[in-house]
Structure 1
Amino acid sequence: MITKAGNLPYVSLAIVLTGVSMGGNAWAADEDAYFSELPIVASVSRLPQRLADAPAAVTVVDRDMIKASGARDLNDIFRLVPGFQTYPNNTESARATYHGMGDGDYSSRVQVLIDGRSMYSPLFGGGVNWATLPVALEDIERIEVVRGTNAVSYGSNAFLGVINIVTVDPALTRGFSVSSSYGNQNVRDYGFRVGGKIGEVGDFRFTYKQLNDDGLTDRYDWIDSYFSRLFDFRADVVLSERDSLQLSMGRADGIIQNGRNKLVGGLWQQNPENPMRQMRQSDSYAQVIWRRVFSADSDFQFRYSYVVDRSDDAFTFSNLHINQSGDEGVRHEIEVQHSLKIDKAVRMVWGGGWREDAMRSEWSLPGMGEVNRSIGRVFGNLEWRPAHWFTGNAGLALEDDSLAGMHVSPRVSSNFHLTPENTLRLGYSRAYHTGSTVDYRGQQRAFGVSFFSARPDLMATEGLDTLEAGYLGDWRDWRASLDVRVFSERIRNRLYKIDMDTTNPLVGLSTVPIQSVEIQGVEYQFKWQPFDTTRLVFTQTLANLSSDYLSSALALNNSTLTTTKAVQIRELTERSMPARSTSALLIQKLPLGLEFSTAGYWQESMKWSTNTTAQRYRRFDVRLGYPFRSGSLAGEIALTVQSLNGAHNEYKAPNPDDTNPNPDGRIVERRQWVSLRLDF
C-alpha cells in the first residue's frame, strides 16, 4: 500500500505544561498504543514522528482552525502561532516573521513550503512574496509550523523556522464547488474548485480563486488596493503497488499599488520620482514527486520543481527607465530522500538536493544579464528509541553555495518521556543564513548616485546557535494540552544594509555583518476541548532581544554606523519582536447547526523597519457560519467581521502630530463580508 506524505495520520495537536500531569494516569503498559493518537508530523526531521519524539517544537494548524480564524490572507493565519508576527496586505509587502528580524521587504529567515516546494525566490530578495503564494486557503489540509531553526532538514532559508503547507488530497475533493464573498472595502472574492477521478488510477483537483479589495483607507500621499488571481492543479496517480506520482502546476498573480504623492504649495500632486503605479507580480510553477515504497519501513522520494517569478512596477523619470521590483527570477530544484528503519530502535532519513537560481534585473543587476547561483546540499536525520522513556534525535546537513561558500548545520536533541502524559525535550542546533543574490552581486546606480553596491569582500554568513527546552503533555481525561518552549537564540554576524561612506555618493548601501543578537524567551500554546461542541486555543510569547555591534562594523570609516543611524539600527533590532504577544481562538457549535468562532489578538509595540513602528494593539475577529445540505446540494453561508473592536495600527503608526495633513499611517479598520459556498 502506498502512503502519501500529504496523508500521514493526523489528529489534533496535543502538548504540554510544566511537569505536572493534569491527567494523573499511571504509565501505560503499551506506550505505543497510547501515543498513537498524538499528532504525527514530518516537517522537523523529514521522518513521520509523534510530537513527543520530534526534536523541535511544532504547531499544527488544521482546517477547522483555518476556517474559524476568518482569515482571507494566508499570512493572517500565523497570528495563531506562538512567536509569529504579521500585518495586513497594504502598499507594503505582507510579511510573516518568527522572532522578529524581518527588516527586509520580504522575510527571508523562515522557510515556507507548499507540498515540499520552497516559496523562496531569488527575485524577491531571497525571501517570500506573500502576495503570490499559489495556494487557496480552501485547499490547505494543515500547516505544520516548526518553531525554531530547521536548517538541518531544509537549508539556510530555515534559519529561524519552517512553515510547511500541506494541501488536501484530490481524492477528498470530488465534485464541483463555487464560492463568493462580498463586503465593505470592496471585498469581492470569487472561486471554484472541481475534483474527480482519473480513470481507475488517480484523482485530480483544479482550483480557481480571485481576491479583491480596496485595502486600507487611502491617505493623502498613497493609495491602497489588492488583487490576486490563482490557478492551481494537482493530480495524484498510482503507478503500481509500490509507486505513486504527484503532479502539480499553477500560477498566482498579484497587483498592489506603489508610489507616493507629494505636497506642493499646499496641494497633493503626483511625485515624478515615485509616481502612483501598479506593481504586478506573478508566480508560475510545476512540480513532480515520485514515491516508491520498498517496505513498511523504507521508501524513496524524488522531487523536481520549476518556478518562475516576475515583477514589474516600471516608470520613466528624466529619460531613465526605473523598475525597482523587476524583472525575473527562475528556480530549478531537484531533491531525493530515502527513509529506512535500521533496526527496532533506529530510523533514519538521508538525501540531497541541488537547485539553480537565476535572476535578471536591469535595476539591481545592470548589464549583467542572467546571474546564476547554484546550491547543493546533503542531509541526514536519525531517530533512536532504545527505551520507552527516551527518544534521541541527531541531524547533520552540509550546504555548498556558489556565492556564499560551504556551511555545516548540526542538531542534537533528547526527549525524555517522564510519563505517558509528559515529555521533556532538550536540544541544541546550529544554523546559517546567507544573503540574497543582490547582496552578493547587486549594483544599483542612477543620476550618478549609487543606491547599492555589493561588497562580497565584507559579506559574512549569519550564524545561529540555539539552546532550547520544551515540555509536552497530553491530558486525555481533561481533553487539554499545552506546549511550552524556552529558548536562547544567539545570532552572529547579523547582516544589514548600511551606507558605507556618507561622504561619497558613488559608494551607497552595502550588506555587511554589523551585529550579534540574542533572543531569549518563552512561548506556549494551550488547547482545551471541554465539550464536544467547544474548542479553545490560547498562545502567548514573552521575549527579549539584545544586540551589540561588531568591532569590525564600528571600524568602518564614514559609514552610517558612525552616526546617529547606529542608534536607530539597534532600536530596530531590539524592537523587531514585541516583548509580549497573545492570541486566543474559540470555536463553538451552536443550536440549529450554527458554527461560531472568535479570535483575539493582543500585541505590544514593535518595529518592522526604521520608519515603521507598530503601536500596541488588540484586535477581535468573529465568524458565524451555517453549513447546510439539501439532497445532493451542500454548502455554507457565513458572516465574517475582522477588527470588530474598531480601527488600530499594525504596521506603520500615524504621525502623532494631529495637525499634520499627511499622517501616512496604516490604519486597520473594521472589515466585514458575507460568503457563500455551494457544493454540487
Structure 2
Amino acid sequence: MTPPSFTKNIGRRRALHLPVALAFLAPLALGQTPQPAAATPQITPSTLKNLSLEQLSQIEVTSPTREPTSAFRSPTAIYVLTGEDIRRSGVTTIPDALRLVPGVEVAQIDSSKWSVGIRGFGTRLSRSVLVLIDGRTVYSPLFAGTYWEVQDTLLEDIERIEVIRGPGGTIWGPNAINGVINIITKTTRDTQGTYASGGGGNYALGFFNFRYGGTNGKGLSYRFYAKAYGYGPEYHYNHDNFDSWSGGQSGFRIDWPAGTRDAFTLEGDVYKQEDGERVSLTTYTPPLTKIVNGEADLSGGNLLFHWTRTLNERNNFQLQAFYDRTNRYEPNFGDRLNTYDLDFVGQTKIPWHQQLSYGVEGRLYEGHFLEVTPGLVFYPADRTDYLVSGFLQDDISLVEQKLVLSAGSKVLHTNYTGAQFQPNIRLAWTPTSKQTLWASFTHAVRTPSDAEEDFYLSSFLNYTASGLPFFGRFNPNPYFAPEQLNGYELGYRQLVTKKLYIDIAGFFNHYHNLFSQDLTAPISLETSLPFAPSTPVAPYLMVSAQFQNDLYGDTAGGEIAPEWRPLNFWRLRGSYSYLNMNLSKAAGTAVGGTPANVAGSSPRNEVSFDSSFEIPRKVKFDFVYRYVSALPAVSAPAYSTGDARIAWYIRHHLEFTLVGRNLFQPYHIEYVADPGGPVAIRRNVFAALAWR
C-alpha cells in the first residue's frame, strides 16, 4: 500500500477538528480578553540561557524529592535539559530531544517510532522508564511502557526536562526501575502574547505551531495552543514506503495564584494522529500469515488539576488529579484505555534540621481490547487495573549545608501483585559550594503488565515435512512476578572554574525476575481456533511458550558530562556513556528475551559533543555530534552523525531557522524491528520561520 500524501493526511478533518476547536474555544471558555504580557521576572525560562555556569549550577529541580531542591546538591544522577537546549537543537519531537541527555539511549525505528532506554533495556515502549508530563504519568499498563509517538506538546512551551538516570521508585512509584523522564511545561505567566511558527523540508514535510497567552488582570493567566504536522517515510531498501505519519494536537493551561497561600493549575490536551505501519497478521486459514501495510488511528486527551497550598513556613501540600483517555486502532489490534489518578504529596519541616516528604496515590485503569486477528488475543478483553501506594522520605541535614542523608520507602499494591516495597538511602556531601559528592542505594520494581498476565500471541512459523502448518504461541503467565532491581550509585559534580563544570556518575545494578520467554509445552496437534473450539480449521501443529521471570544479572557503567564556556557567547558540552550488561538465564529453553537479545539492544558506548555559538541578537549557530556503538540484537551497526542549526533574527520578533539533521550520511540504520524490516533514518533538512 502506498502511504497517503502529507497533503491528504494533514487535511483530514477527523484528524484535526477536535484539537483546533479546543484551542480556539479556550479564550471563550475563560470569558476574558487577552491583556499585554506581564512584567518579566528576574529569572524565567526565557532568561535561563543568559545565566553563568555558577548560576546554572543552582537550578532547582523537583524530580528527586517532588519539592524544589538544588540539582547541584542532589544525591541522584539528574540532568536538566532546558527549553533553550531543546529549541537550539533543532529537534521536532521529544524522543529526539532526549538524545542530548547522557545515559539515555534513543534509536529511531521508523518515521513515528523510537526505542528509548536509560542505562540499558532500551525497547520500543521503554518499559523500564517512567515518563511524566507535568506530573501526569503516560506509562501504559497494556504492554508496559510509553508510546512515544503520541507524547507531545508545543516544544516551545517546555520549560525543562528533568531526567533521573537510575531508579526513582521511592518517590514516583513502580516502573521507574531504570529512570524517570519528567517533562515540565512553562507556567502561563512565561508564555504571554503570541507565538507562531511553521516550516517544512524533505522529511518534515510541513508543520505549524500556534500559541496565545493572556491574563484577566486579576492574577489568573492562561494560554492555548494548536499544532499540526506531517512527516514523510524514512528510507526503505525495498522502496515499500509505509511509515508516513501526520496529526494535530491542541491544548490549554490556566494558572491562578489565589492569594499568597494557594495556587491552582488546570490544563488539558487533545490529539489525533495517523501513523503508517507494517504488521504481521496470523489467520490460521490460508495464507496463514500475511504482512499488511496500514494505518494506526491514534487519538486521545487528558485533563489535569493541580492545587498547591502553603499552610505555614514549615508545612505545605500538593493535590493533583488527572484523567487520561487513549484510543489506539492499529491494523492488528485496537485498545481503549481510561486512566483516573489522585495524588497527594506533603512536606513538613521538623526539628533537628529534617524535612519529611510523604504522599499517597490511587490510580484506576479501565481498558478494552479489540480483537482484529486470532493471532492477538487478550482474555478477558475488558480490564480494570488499580494501583494504590504511599511513600515517606526524611531528608536529614547532618551537617548544615554540608552533609544531607535521605532515607525513605514507597509501598504499593496492584491487582497483579501483593505489597511491594521500594526503599532508598542517599547521602550528599557538599564540602564547598562548588563540589558535591553523593552515593545511593535503591530497590525498585516494575509491576506486571496486562500483556504478561492476560495476552495470547500466535505466529505462523513454517510448514513441517509432512505439510502441516506449524504455529508458535506465547501464553500469559498469571503468576508473572514484578521485576526487581538493587541499584548502587556514586557521583561527583564540580564547578572547576567559572567557565568549566563537570558531572560524573557511576552505577552497578543487580536485577532478578527479569522478563523472559520460555517453551512450556510439547508440540500438539490442533484442529480448531484458539479460544474458539467450535470453529474448526485445517489441522496444524502448535508449540507453546510462556512469559517468565527467568533472566537475572548485572549492569555497570557510568557517564561523564563536562561543560566549558571559553567565551561568553560560546558554549561547549560533551558526554560519554558506558554500559556493560552481564545477564544470565535460569533453567529452561528460551525462545525470546535471551540474555544476548536484551544486552544487544543497548549500545555499550555513546559519545556526544555540542557547540552553541551566538552573536547577540543576530545569529545563533549550533552543532551536535553523536556516536552510538552497535546494537547487534536489532541489526543496527555503529554510526556517527551530526546535526546543525543556524538561526537569524530578521527582525526583532521574527526568526528564520535552517536545520540539518543526520548530516553525515544520506541515511543510516538505528534499530531494525520485525516485520517492519530494515528502515534507515534519512538526512533531514528543513527551514522554519518563528514569530515570538
Aligned to 1:348, which of 347, 356, 359?
A: 356
Q: Counterpart of 1:20? A: none
Q: Which structure dedicates a bigger proportion of its chain to strand?
A: 2
Q: Determine what percentage of the aligned residue pairs are the same residue.
A: 22
Q: Counterpart of 2:601? A: 576
**SS of structure 1 residue aligned to 2:453:** helix
Offset of residue 134 of structure 1:
3.6
Q: Counterpart of 2:612? A: 587
Offset of residue 45 of structure 1:
1.7
Offset of residue 461 of structure 1:
1.4
- Is 2:342 the counterpart of 1:334? yes
Q: Counterpart of 2:582? A: 546
Aligned to 1:468, which of 489, 498, 509?
A: 489
Question: In structure 2, what is the Cα distance between the partners aligned to 1:41 and 1:411?
Answer: 19
Q: TM-score, normalised by structure 1?
A: 0.84
C-alpha change, 1:502 and 1:526, in structure 2 (3 Å) is: farther
Q: Say if 1:12 and 1:38, in contact at 8 Å, map to a contact too.
A: no
**SS of structure 2 residue aligned to 1:577:** coil
Task: Tell me the C-alpha RMSD between the 2 structures.
Answer: 3.0
Question: In structure 1, what is the Cα distance between the partners aligned to 2:445 and 2:279?
Answer: 37
1:140-219, aligned counterparts within 5 Å?
Answer: 140-185=158-203, 187-219=205-237
Question: In structure 1, what is the Cα distance between the partners aligned to 2:625 and 2:433?
Answer: 32
Q: Say if 1:329 and 1:359, in contact at 8 Å, map to a contact too.
A: yes
C-alpha change, 1:280 and 1:187, in structure 2 (3 Å) is: same
Give a deviation string over 1:58-94, Cα, whole Å, max 9, x none: 0000122111211111101111111111123626732
Question: In structure 2, what is the Cα distance between the partners aligned to 1:386 and 1:9?
Answer: 37
Question: In structure 1, what is the Cα distance between the partners aligned to 2:390 and 2:231?
Answer: 44
Q: TM-score, normalised by structure 2?
A: 0.83
Question: In structure 2, what is the Cα distance between the partners aligned to 1:515 and 1:356?
Answer: 30
Aligned to 1:376, which of 373, 382, 388?
A: 388
Q: Say if 1:431 and 1:464, in contact at 8 Å, map to a contact too.
A: yes
Aligned to 1:489, which of 509, 527, 551?
A: 509
Q: Counterpart of 1:500? A: 520
C-alpha change, 1:328 and 1:592, in structure 2 (3 Å) is: closer
- Is 2:319 the counterpart of 1:302? yes
1:127-526, aligned counterparts within 5 Å?
Answer: 127-185=145-203, 187-220=205-238, 221=240, 223-259=242-278, 273-314=290-331, 323-324=332-333, 326-343=334-351, 345-363=353-371, 366=378, 368-387=380-399, 388-444=401-457, 451-457=473-479, 459-475=480-496, 477-501=497-521, 503-504=523-524, 508-526=544-562
Q: Say if 1:183 and 1:673, in contact at 8 Å, map to a contact too.
A: yes
How many residue pairs end up in the alignment? 615
Letter matched to residue 352 of structure 1: V
C-alpha change, 1:535 and 1:646, in structure 2 (3 Å) is: same
**SS of structure 2 residue aligned to 1:455:** coil
- Is 2:690 the counterpart of 1:677? yes
Q: Say if 1:218 and 1:224, in contact at 8 Å, map to a contact too.
A: no
1:33-48, aligned counterparts within 5 Å?
Answer: 38-48=58-68
Offset of residue 444 of structure 1:
4.6
Offset of residue 506 of structure 1:
5.5
Offset of residue 272 of structure 1:
7.4
1:616-635, aligned counterparts within 5 Å?
Answer: 616-630=638-652, 634-635=653-654
**SS of structure 1 residue aligned to 2:514:** strand
Offset of residue 261 of structure 1:
9.9
Gaps of 5+ in 2: 1-40, 282-286, 461-469, 525-540
The answer to which of 637-646 and 354-363 deviates more is 354-363
Letter matched to residue 616 of structure 1: A
Q: Say if 1:45 and 1:55, in contact at 8 Å, map to a contact too.
A: no
C-alpha change, 1:271 and 1:240, in structure 2 (3 Å) is: farther
- Is 2:619 the counterpart of 1:598? no
C-alpha change, 1:619 and 1:13, in structure 2 (3 Å) is: farther
Letter matched to residue 110 of structure 2: N
Offset of residue 7 of structure 1:
7.9
Offset of residue 188 of structure 1:
0.6
Question: In structure 1, what is the Cα distance between the partners aligned to 2:103 and 2:488?
Answer: 16
Letter matched to residue 368 of structure 1: P
Question: In structure 2, what is the Cα distance between the partners aligned to 1:249 and 1:218?
Answer: 37
Offset of residue 617 of structure 1:
0.3
Question: In structure 1, what is the Cα distance between the partners aligned to 2:279 and 2:308?
Answer: 51
Question: In structure 2, what is the Cα distance between the partners aligned to 1:619 and 1:66?
Answer: 18
Q: Say if 1:47 and 1:348, in contact at 8 Å, map to a contact too.
A: no
Q: Say if 2:204 and 2:686, in contact at 8 Å, map to a contact too.
A: no
Question: In structure 2, what is the Cα distance between the partners aligned to 1:670 and 1:400?
Answer: 47
Q: Say if 2:235 and 2:241, in contact at 8 Å, map to a contact too.
A: no
Offset of residue 14 of structure 1:
11
C-alpha change, 1:12 and 1:57, in structure 2 (3 Å) is: farther
- Is 2:134 the counterpart of 1:115? yes
C-alpha change, 1:469 and 1:169, in structure 2 (3 Å) is: same
Offset of residue 482 of structure 1:
1.0
C-alpha change, 1:13 and 1:74, in structure 2 (3 Å) is: farther
Offset of residue 35 of structure 1:
8.8
Give a deviation string over 1:300-330, Cα, whole Å, max 9, x none: 111001111111124xxxxxxxx32x12111
Letter matched to residue 379 of structure 1: F
Question: In structure 2, what is the Cα distance between the partners aligned to 1:261 and 1:51?
Answer: 46
Question: In structure 2, what is the Cα distance between the partners aligned to 1:159 and 1:122?
Answer: 15
C-alpha change, 1:663 and 1:257, in structure 2 (3 Å) is: closer
Give a deviation string over 1:381-401, Cα, whole Å, max 9, x none: 221113132111112100111
Gaps of 5+ in 1: 17-33, 263-269, 315-322, 555-559, 656-661
Q: Say if 1:150 and 1:158, in contact at 8 Å, map to a contact too.
A: yes
